[in-house]
A = this chain, B = another copy of it.
Amino acid sequence: MARQQLPIEEETPQDAAADNNSVAFHDAGASNKSKVTVVGSGNWGSVAAKLIASNTLKFPSFHDEVRMWVFEETLSNGEKLSEVINQTNENVKYLPGVKLGKNVVADPDLEHAVRDANMLVFVTPHQFMEGICKRLVGKIKKEAEAISLIKGMEVKMEGPCMISTLISEKLGINCCVLMGANIANEIAEEKFSEATVGYRGNKEIADRWVELFNHPYFIVSAVQDVEGVELCGTLKNVVAIAAGFVDGLEMGNNTKAAIMRIGLREMKAFSKLLFSSVNDSTFFESCGVADIITTCLGGRNRKCAEAFARHGGKRTFDELEAEMLQGQKLQGVSTAKEVYEVLRHRGWLELFPLFTTVHEICSGRLPPSAIVETVK
């Protein structure tokens, strides 16, 4: 009945549910289940696929199969990564030893992988997203919903562009985000953790993402604050660099706690200056205080920054990254640079002594000990 009143109606089956304020992709009959594709298959992407694949089997409103786009690589034994994943149900390169679920299908063809998806989960290194979006224009379902698990932002002449905004604008679809205290390997081992979904306006869509990701060992909550949640995920890596410096300088737990608190304060202030819609309460969620804690206790940004400070800044982050991370990339250093550009461009450098100093230490202009001196 009311279906005719909906101007953005493309493929009939889903829309029946729109009558009841539901979202299009939510009403899934036997022949009309939501299909999920994970775009990305690194460490976190593989864990996300595992979480999702377990739930698509459990809930009848999802299609069992979870398609996972794999950036094809040839392994040292000459085999293709995507083929090995499909044979073994394991991402032997980025999440070895963990079964993803037999309903995860690795697909090296990006356009093919997304073609039938109603729900797109983006989880690639952030620098690849602009290129991926360009390739996907016109290749996805018009009513698809997206969620980004990607940390980082694009800094352009006109200002910072969040990844969820990039996806929304380039692809013309709605995009939520999922962030939180989520060290991938610990979730793969099914140890208890939490995460936060940030959504823009439609709570039903957020609830659908919560349903897709939530597990007894992975508790997901939704807050109406895309930018706040996404900036938490992005900026926490800058704070982790600062915390790593404190560790390398052996300054103790009080100092580390103070630096983490000041970092959280700058994350909040920066987010609110950029987006007046950002809520203070978001920073009490898993994406805020909990992610700061886990990232500053154990993450790779913290670890490399500790080594940087122990070497007195005499070895570069590029060297340490190559030596310590086995091919994984360090996001904090590049995010710190991006944030610094935003601050400088807007005349805010002095308002954010911690963010500013992290970049100045990373780029060799200040010694690691400056991290404490400048925030006093």
Residues of A within 8 A of B (CB): 8, 181-183, 186-187, 189, 191-194, 216-217, 219, 251-258, 260-261, 264-265, 268, 280-281, 283-286, 289-291, 293-294, 297-298, 372, 376
Contacts and interface: CB of A to CB of B under 8 A. Distances in A.
11 contacts: A8-B376, A183-B252, A191-B251, A192-B251, A192-B255, A192-B372, A193-B254, A219-B376, A258-B290, A280-B284, A293-B293
B216 A254 contact: no
A186 B255 contact: yes
Nearest to A265: B284
Integer count of this chain's copies in the complex: 2
Given A181-B257, A253-B293, A261-B286, 5 more contacts: A181-B261, A182-B254, A192-B254, A257-B290, A258-B286
A192 B297 contact: no
A196 to B, nearest CB: 10
Contact of A216 (B193, B264, B280, B376): B376
Given A192-B251, A255-B192, A264 B289 contact: yes
Does more than half of chain A's interface fall in helix, strand or loop, or is it mixed? helix
Contacts of A191: 251-252, 254-255
Contacts of A192: 251, 254-255, 258, 372, 376
A216 B217 CA distance: 44
In the A-B complex, list the 5 residue pairs whose CB atoms are closest, starting with the nearest. Answer: A193-B254, A261-B290, A257-B294, A257-B293, A181-B257
Nearest to A372: B192
A67 to B, nearest CB: 27
A280 B281 contact: yes
Contact of A186 (B194, B254, B280): B254
Nearest to A8: B376
A294 B293 CA distance: 11
A264 B284 contact: yes
B181 A293 contact: no
Contact of A193 (B186, B187, B255, B284): B255
B297 A253 contact: yes
A291 B286 CA distance: 18
Contacts of A256: 293-294, 297
A249 to B, nearest CB: 10
A286 B283 CA distance: 15
A268 B253 contact: no
A247 to B, nearest CB: 11
